Amino acid sequence: MIRLFERKQQKKSQTKKVHPGELRIQKDMEELELPGSCTLDYPDENDVLNFVLIMKPTEGYWKGGTFNFSFHIPTDYPHTAPKVECKTKIYHPNIDLQGKVCLNVLRFDWKPVLTINTVIYGLQLLFLEPNPNDPLNHEAAELLKKDTYEFSQKVKRTMNGNW
């Protein structure tokens, strides 16, 4: 009888513990409605808490570009917002040159009812309507406010690798 109890305990300890964040992200992914301009990549297919969103805008200043965003989902998700970082160097008022993303739903507007779909929609919106009033890249924000034509030219140059 004692051996049976020991085996059950051993089996329990060998079983991988699933965090609530993993369960919620699985649900989010099942309900995900990716736009045609976006795809997901899992560098480690066994790790549902880390993935890459590949975004290819079809309109706006960054049309024709390819931008990779790494997502890290904390184990206490959805109580804590995902961590999102742009891995592609980009000239954008709301994304700095180190890849930090200024998106309200990733900061003070995050609520547990929000989903990964909400974050992806917010990222898309940053490409369609960059917000120069809440910038991380102040130079890009000032240029966008002052001269949209020159801003668009600088975006094109930087997308071609001319920094």
> Amino acid identity of 11?
K
% residues pLDDT > 70 (the chain):
90
- Could you give the angle at the alpha carbon of 22 between the alpha carbons of 122 and 118, nearest 5°? 10
Which residues are identified as catalytic?
102
- Looking at residue 18, its pLDDT comes to 76
- Looking at residue 14, its pLDDT comes to 52
pLDDT, the chain, mean: 91
Domain 17-159 = CATH 3.10.110.10: yes
Query: CA-to-CA distance for 50 and 123, rounded, in angstroms?
Result: 17
Closest CA to 54 of 105, 101, 120: 120
Reported as type and span, the H/E element at residue 54 is strand 50-55
Say which residues have a Cβ less than 8 Å from residue 18's Cβ, sequence separation at least 6: none
What are the boundaries of each domain within the chain?
17-159
Q: What is the pLDDT of residues 100-129, one digit of tens each?
A: 999 999 989 999 999 999 999 999 999 999
Q: Are 52 and 41 in contact (CB under 8 A)?
A: yes
Query: CA-to-CA distance for 85 and 80, rounded, in angstroms?
Result: 16
Say which residues have a Cβ less than 8 Å from residue 4's Cβ, sequence separation at least 6: none
